Every structure is written in C-alpha cells, then in structure tokens.
Structure 1
Amino acid sequence: MEFLGYFFAIIIGFVMGLIGGGGSILSVPVFAYIFGIDAMTATTLSLFVVGVTSSVGSVGYIRQGIVHFKNAFLFGLPSVAGILFSRRVVLPHLPEYIINRWGITLTKDMFILVLFAILMLVSSFKMIKKIDRQRIPKSEEVNYTLLVSQGLLVGIVTGFIGAGGGFLIVPALVMLLRVSMKQAVATSLVIISVNSLIGFISSLDKVDVNWVFLLSFTALSVIGILIGVRISRKIAGRKLRPVFGWFVLSMAIFIILNELLVKQVM
C-alpha cells in the first residue's frame, strides 16, 4: 500500500504538469485512505505538496513572462485571509462529532472528507464538460467586489480541505479579469503555491509532521510535474481533462459512499 501511495505521488505531479491542475485533488484521498492519516493532518500535508509542486510548475511560466502578478495579488490577498480563517478559526473549533444521534454518526474527519468529495464532484463536472472556457466582453468593467469575494471563497475552500482550488481560480481570472486562458493557468499556479504554503505554515502547531515522509512524497510529486510538463509539449492536456474528470468523479462517489454508508454500518 505504501508503494501504491508513493506511485500516486508521481501521478499527482504528473497530472498537474499535463493538464495544468487537478492532480492536487488526489493528495488528500491518498493520505487518508492509503497511508491511513487523519483528515486534519491529511489536508495539512496536502497543502505542502500542492504548494511546493505548484511553485515548481509556475517557474516556467514566470520565465515566459505570462504570470500577471497584479492579478495574483488582487485575487491572492483575500484568499490568504480565507485560508487563515479556515485553518485557525474553523477547523480547530469543529467538534469531534458533527452528528451523533438517531443512529447517525458523522465525525469531524468524515465531515471533512465528505466536503472534499463534494469539491471533487464539482471539479470533475468542470473537467468533463469543459465549462471553464467562458469569456467576458472586453468592454465590461472589472467587478472588484466580486473578485475579492471569489478570492475569499477560494481561500476558505483551500484552507478547509487542503486542495489548491485551481478549477475555481482559473475561471474566475478569465471571467472577472478578462485574461487569456494560458495567463490564467500561469497566474493560478502562483496563487495556489502561495495560498497552500501559507495554509500549511499556519497549521504546523496543530499537527505532527513526519518530515522524512512528507519531503519524500513531495519530491516524487515534483518529479511527476516535471515529466508532465515535458509530455504536455507533445500531448494536448485539455484532451485528457475529461478522462481525468471521470476518474475524479468515481473517486468522489467512493468517498461519499464509504463515509456516509459503509462506516455507518461498521
């Protein structure tokens, strides 16, 4: 099982490099189900993996000069506030049992994983249907209020479930700031890397981190993203997004069934 887990570390990076995101959504299930780590710690470790891997993936875009740092700041600042709110205020104060009556038991860990699965469902639909290619007329003014609220929402989601939220960030940048898809993906990686690393650092006093394990896992993920980026030059990653979307959908259904049905009868 550990070998399988480390193999998925490479897959996580590979998918991120190949299709510009999505791979990070696998890290929490891998930590929780393959390595048997509790949900709070799994989301924290995921933030580190996502942050480091995204940082490596964004280097090439920065060199190409297509990262819009002003947009990254405008979107990223409220995101940081959302992350700190989730990691420092919400998660530490969740009760151990969300529901424990009428024969129904929903623990804190189960609750986090179910919310994560819901995010996976939304993400999978976006990848399958390719609905992130919306455009806004150039004449339309930037809605900064909506931009800040979107950034805050992404930060809360990122902090709570340990996923980068790229499938939320890219459409928001395209629709609200009217940047190209390529620039949105590049800027998104920078936002994800900063958000995730800040979320990880803010949780260090709440969890015990096995640094040897975490660095080994992250190193494999980085190798994966470097391979994915190289292969993406020959294969159009957007063509593989629907395939990965169906895989994410199946995983989301498994998590929901496992947490809400299987564990109720065990």
Structure 2
Amino acid sequence: MDLFTSFVLPAVVGIGIGILSGMLGIGGGTVLVPIFRLAFGMSPIMSTATSLFTIIPTSISGAVSHVRHKTCVPSLGIAAGLGGACTSPIGVWLAQISPAWLVMLVAALIIGYSAVNTLIKAWRMKPAAKKVPAAAADDPAVLAETAVEQVGDAAANEDAELAPTPIAADTGKSFPKLTRKQLLIGAAIGLGAGLASGYVGVGGGFIMVPLMLSLVGISMKQASGTSLIAVMLLAIPGVIEQGILGNINYMAGIAVAIGSIPGAILGARLVRIVPERMLRFIFGGFLIVAAVVLVLNELGILG
C-alpha cells in the first residue's frame, strides 16, 4: 500500500473515531473493526486485535480531558477497568478458538441491544427547557408560560426515566462520590465489558455506558468520561496477549491512534455543550450503524 492508504487515510479515520470516543465514552472499536476488515483487508482476528491496540491511546487522550473538566467519575472508571482487566484475556482466548462469523455476530447483537435501550430512553426524555428571551424577561405572560412548560418537562422526564436518579453534575470542586455498592456494580459491569472487549476487539463502552446509566445512576455526560477511564485499563491485558500472538497490525493501529488523540480531546470538549438527550440519540444511532455494518459484512453484502 502507498503512504496515503497505509498512513494518511487511517489517521483521518482516527480523527473521527477520536471525536466519537470523547463524546460518547467509547474506544471506537465498533467502527474500527469493520473498517479494518473492509478498507484494509485484514483478517477477522487481525481486525479485532488491531482495533483493541488502537483503543488504548484513544481512550487515554479522551479520559485525560474528561478528568480535567470533571465530566467523569474516576472511582467508578477504575473499578470497572480493573474488573474488565481480569476478563479481557479470556475474551481474547475465546476469539482465538471461535469462528470469525460468530465473533462478529456476538458483536452485532450486543451493540444492537445497547442501541435500542439507549434510543428508547432518549425518546422518553423531553427536550431541554427553553430559555426566556431577554426582551421578554419582564413580560408576566411569557414568564408564566415558560414556568408551566418547565414544570411539565420536569414531570415528563421523571416519569420517563426508570433508571436511578442521576448523580448531580459536579460543580468543579470535586468528583462525585459513590457508595461501595455502586463501585461493586461498576466492577461487575467491567467484568462483562472486559470479556466483550477481548472477544470482539472493542473497548466495551457500548456495554458500560448504558449499564452505568441504568444501574449506577450517573448522567450520560459522566458515563462517557467514566467509560473511557475503564476502557484504557481493561484493554491493556488483551492487547498484550494479542501482541504475543502476533495478531496486531502496528502500522495501521499507530496511524489511527495519531489521528484519534486530537479528535478525542475535541470530543471531550463537545460533550460539555451538547444536550444530554441529543447525546443519547447520537450514541444510539452510532451503535445501530455499527451493528448493521457488522451484520452486512458477515453476510458478504459489503465485500
């Protein structure tokens, strides 16, 4: 392959992956695996291994930015990451002995379930309350109408959200503190994410983010950054194992990583200004696209 195909193109892809990573709390593996297979002609096992290798620098850059801006819960991320680090080598071993179509099918099923769950919750949420224009700030009628809308939106959101009440966003002084039970739940979530990470070659964010929302009760913005902290920890043992087995394409992985670092920093900044309902829709839509691409690829429709 020429320089453009082997390095420049993967770096450009990495920028987009990094933005998704920083905004949505994922390592980008759900996009990288089909790209490595379709665009670069890698084998299934090399695609998953190279994806897992690329996830680490992407997650680190995004996680650092989230920590700086306090849009994460580090204690929960560490708990989930340590749990996942215990199971990701098992996932790699299972992938080695499984047929390629089964690996991709499992990935598509997990991603699809997470997508539907996220989109349902986003649909039930009401848009953010409207701001009163400065020119109408003194108009009693406008103020009364706005107050009614805000109360109605709050009530609708309360009825729609079946998950635990999200932990309040940090004010900038300290990170949210969780109970021991919440941290244990986080570690359990990490166990499942680590297995999926090693098996499918993804970071596991598509599992952790929805479960952190529903079981732990943190907000979407907090879950994005927290997931990245966990991903950068749980992927390490799996990458070491894949490297020993000789399954990683280091040139493509490094090129994508170079592009993903600035992209992840940008995505982490965007997460602070994008409304949570919109963020949920973006996340769910992204997962659906990834699941469809994997299925079509295994059916031979895309290549």
Matched positions, count: 249
Report if the CA contact (8 A) 1:72-1:191 is conserved. Answer: yes
Letter in 2 for 1:246: G
Distance 2:28 2:218 in 1: 23
Task: Sort the Cα spacing of 1:213 and 1:166 in 2 relative to 1 into closer, same or farther, 3 A.
Answer: closer
Written as runs of structure 1 = structure 2, the 5 A alignment for 1:93-242 is: 93-94=97-98, 108-130=99-121, 134-136=162-164, 142=181, 148-236=187-275, 238-239=277-278, 241-242=280-281
Tell me the SS of whatever aligns to 2:244.
coil
Distance 1:174 1:243 in 2: 15
Structure 2, unpaired ranges of 5+: 126-160, 168-178
Report if the CA contact (8 A) 1:82-1:153 is conserved. Answer: yes
Tell me the SS of whatever aligns to 2:55.
helix
- C-alpha root-mean-square deviation of aligned residues, in Å? 3.3
* Deviation digits for residues 44-85 of structure 1 (CA, Å, limit 9, x no counterpart): 111122221111111122234565443334333221121121
Report if the CA contact (8 A) 1:57-1:226 is conserved. Answer: yes
Task: Sort the Cα spacing of 1:185 and 1:228 in 2 relative to 1 into closer, same or farther, 3 A.
Answer: closer
Report if the CA contact (8 A) 1:142-1:176 is conserved. Answer: no
Distance 1:248 1:174 in 2: 16
Task: Sort the Cα spacing of 1:214 and 1:144 in 2 relative to 1 into closer, same or farther, 3 A.
Answer: closer
Q: Which residue matches 2:94?
A: 90
Q: Name which of 28, 45, 51 aligns with 2:56.
A: 51
Quick one: percent identity of the two aligned structures?
27
Letter in 1 for 2:30: I
Report if the CA contact (8 A) 1:24-1:50 is conserved. Answer: yes
Report if the CA contact (8 A) 2:72-2:221 is conserved. Answer: no
Q: TM-score, normalised by structure 1?
A: 0.77
Task: Sort the Cα spacing of 1:55 and 1:147 in 2 relative to 1 into closer, same or farther, 3 A.
Answer: closer
Distance 2:47 2:282 in 1: 25
Distance 1:68 1:118 in 2: 28
Report if the CA contact (8 A) 1:79-1:195 is conserved. Answer: yes
Query: More relative contact order in 1 or in 2 (CA 8 Å, sep 6+)?
Result: 2
